[in-house]
Structure formats: C-alpha cells, structure tokens
Amino acid sequence: MIQRNLNGATVVITGASSGIGQATAEAFARRHARLVLAARDGAALEEVAAGCRALGAEAIAVPTDVTDAGAVQRLAERARAFGGQVDVWVSNVGVGAVGRFHETPMAAHEQVIRANLIGHMNDAHAVVPIFLRQGHGTFINTISLGGFAAAPFAAAYSASKFGLRGFSEALRAELAAEPGIRVCDVYPAFIDTPGLLHGANYTGRALSAPPPVYDARRVAETIVGLARHPRDMAVVGQVVHLVRLGHALAPSWIARAMARFMAAYFRRARPAPVTDGNLFAPPRVAGGIDGGLRAPRQRAAGRFLAGAALVAGVAVAIALLDRRGARGLRLR
C-alpha cells in the first residue's frame, strides 16, 4: 500500500473553482502539496489558488475546459513542468441538467456527457502516460451515488455517472500490472455545494437536495486519504451503501420510487426560471465551498430517511426471497 507524504507532492485538481474541488484544494494545501488548479473560470480559480498559498502551499491556476482534450494535455504538461512530475490527479469536474428527458435540450444532455464522462477520460488520457514514465501516480475520480442508481429527471447525469464507473473499472484493470499506479473512485452522497444551484434546470421549479446532505470538506478529506493510502473505492455518506443495496436488490422498483418522489416534489416546489446554468459557461459567481443546503432539520430528517431506506431495503429483500421461494414451490 502506498503511504505518500504529500508535502511537496504535485497534485492536479480539475473543477477546483468551488464546491468539492475548492475544499479538496484547501485540504491538500494544508498538507503543503504543490497544487495545479484547473477550471473554466480563471478569476475564481485564482482566488482559490491565492487561498491555498495563504495556507502555505505552492499553487498555480490554469484555466482549462476539460471537454477540450488539447487543453487537458496542455494542463498535464504545465503540471509536469511546475512540479517535475505529477503525483496525484483529482478528476473532479461535474455538471448536471435536471428536467424530463424529452423536455431537456439534446445539447444539454450532450454537454453533461462531455463534462462528466469525456472530461474525465481526457484527464486520464493526458496523465496516464506521465504516470507510466514515472512508474507511479494516483488518479482519483469523483463519481457520485448516481454511479450506482439511476436519477430520474437527470437522465444524462445518470448515463455519465454509470459510464464513469465503468470507465474507471476498465482503466484500473488495464493498469493492474503497474503496482505504482492506482485508479481510485470516490462516491459521495448528496453534498452541500453550489453545484445544484449552478446546474441547468429545465423543470421550471426550484431545486434542492434530499437529506442527509454532507459537508464538502468531508469529501475532500476522503480524497486526501486516497492520495496517501490508495484503494479502489471510497464512499462518503452511509446512504450510498443503502442506495447501492436497494439498486442491487430491485433496480426497477428503486428507480420508479425515485421518479414518483421527484414528480411529487416538483408539483410542490416553488416556480423557478428555466436555465442552462453553468453547462456552457462558468457561473457568474463561483459560490465558494458551501451551497447552503444543510440545516438542523435536514440532519434529523436524514437520520429518519436512512432508517427508512434500510427498512425498505430489507423489505425488498424479503419480498424477493419470498417470490423466489414461491417459484421454487411451483417448480416442485
């Protein structure tokens, strides 16, 4: 197991201008890593870099659109020139578009796939040759609980996250003969960042996240932990395990239940403008780390929902076992 001292390690973080990316940059800065921060918004990125320098780290801002393969190649070369090598690459860009599939423009669906899947593939394609020349390196993919269960009303997001999980598994298998190179996945639950408010919204209703909602800094510490002690997968929030279990037992039932829940929410939610959000351009205000989605009542509700999800999972398991048992009796 790699146990890396991050002091002086060169760490690239994409999607670093706010949310999980900014929290991760600050977490590595406290370990005195050498940071190469990337996002589309150069001004916001420079603010984050300045904050990291104030924490004692060397940091540069490299404005980059990860959907542009050439730009990502240039980012990788800039990082190698800055640090002499690249030790850790955190592939963190993520965008979303919420709306009924047929009411969401195809251009929006395509952009979600470009950012959330092709963007991460561009990251890996740029840095893996560097890792191979060095003989070491850790590639960390920020995925989502959406990599395990479909999200109705966010079809392209689901496609991108399912695809990203498959890509990461395939890449990890290809590199299995290289003991110094690791591919790690992070699966956060719902996280309190500006991302939901910045995302594209074609529902005409205000968006929020169901509890429990977790602090982005918790994800950042998990990513730092993977950089020091790489492993294939890390989860942030026990609800991810419950969602994964429910999907494994009854995927169609879980997806339909989520669709009904979302449809009911949209009927009650207050009106909001239809917007492309940050799909095609950075938000006007980066927003910092926190999105204002957490509240004491959400934490209490989160404990209730987690318990309810566990009960539901057990109930589904019993129902499936009963059904299989009944089929067995009929066969006899």
Per-residue pLDDT of 14-35, as tens digits, reads: 999 999 999 999 999 999 999 9
Query: Does CATH number 3.20.20.140 belong to domain 10-331?
Result: no
The candidate with the shortest Cα–Cα distance to 201, out of 105, 99, 51, is 99
The terminus-to-terminus CA distance of the chain in angstroms comes to: 51
Query: What's the confidence (pLDDT) of residue 173?
Result: 98
Inform me whether the pLDDT recorded for 324 exceeds 90. Answer: no
pLDDT tier at 276, thresholds 50, 70, 90: very high
The candidate with the shortest Cα–Cα distance to 139, out of 154, 129, 151, is 129
Inform me whether the pLDDT recorded for 230 exceeds 60. Answer: yes
Separation of alpha carbons 231 and 149, rounded Å: 22
The candidate with the shortest Cα–Cα distance to 247, out of 153, 325, 313, is 313
pTM value is 0.89
Query: What's the confidence (pLDDT) of residue 332?
Result: 40
Point out the catalytic residue in the list 157, 187, 202, 214. 157
Query: What's the confidence (pLDDT) of residue 3?
Result: 54
The residue extents of the domains of the chain are: 10-331
Query: What's the confidence (pLDDT) of residue 328?
Result: 45
Inform me whether the pLDDT recorded for 147 exceeds 60. Answer: yes
* Percentage of the chain lying above the pLDDT 70 cut: 88
| Average confidence (pLDDT) over 226-255 | 92
187 is catalytic: no
More confident residue, 251 or 122: 122
List helix spans (H) across the chain. Answer: 19-30, 42-54, 69-83, 106-113, 119-134, 155-174, 195-198, 216-228, 239-249, 251-268, 296-331
Query: What's the confidence (pLDDT) of residue 294?
Result: 80
